[in-house]
A = this chain, B = another copy of it.
Amino acid sequence: MTWLETSTENCTVQRTLDLIGEKWSLLVLRDAMNGVRRFDDFRRHMGLSEAVLAARLRTLVAAGILDTVPYREPGRRTRHEYRLTRKGWELWPVMIALKQWGDRYTADPEGPPLDVRHRDCGEPLEAVVVCAGGHGPLTPREAAARPGRAARAVS
């Protein structure tokens, strides 16, 4: 079975994009990874309408990517903060890979607005692909794709 003969019905990239593959969802995650937690902060920082933001947060919470935690400011009603779960943090390599590509190809001449480095040694981060055997970083040519056990033919 070639890739073209393989059904995309149970493709895990497609299912992932069904959850987070919308620009504003990924930008909510970007802000969450940078410490943003409150509805109004997301809204103001991203310049997003309440309705769109609420919808994206609902999807991310339903997917277990964000969790809600109650907080209460003096004299105000209880509200919720949004915090990344472990499942949410596991999208960090996706975010760093997007940033790496963007820093290379879309930054203004003076550079990107955010500089992310290894806390210990101060060197910049890189998103790379390695193998479980300890080899890498790998290039696409060094990778071999074949149908997995769950591959189904296009019907």
Structural contact, B151 and A114, CB atoms closer than 8 A? yes
A145 interface neighbour in B11, B36, B114, B144, Cβ under 8 Å = B114
- Within the oligomer, what is the number of copies of this chain? 2
A113 interface neighbour in B41, B91, B152, Cβ under 8 Å = B152
A45 interface neighbour in B4, B112, B152, Cβ under 8 Å = B4
Contact pattern, A 118-132, Cβ under 8 Å of B = 1, otherwise 0? 111111111111111
Structural contact, A93 and B102, CB atoms closer than 8 A? no
Structural contact, B17 and A114, CB atoms closer than 8 A? no
Q: Residue on B with the closest CB to A17?
A: B23
> What separation, in Å, do the CA atoms of A99 and B97 have in the docked complex?
13
A7 to chain B, nearest CB (A): 7
> Closest 3 interchain pairs by CB?
A12-B102, A118-B131, A123-B133
A residues near B (Cβ < 8 Å) are: 2-4, 6-8, 10-19, 21-23, 26-27, 30-31, 33-36, 41, 45-47, 87, 89-108, 110-133, 135-152, 154
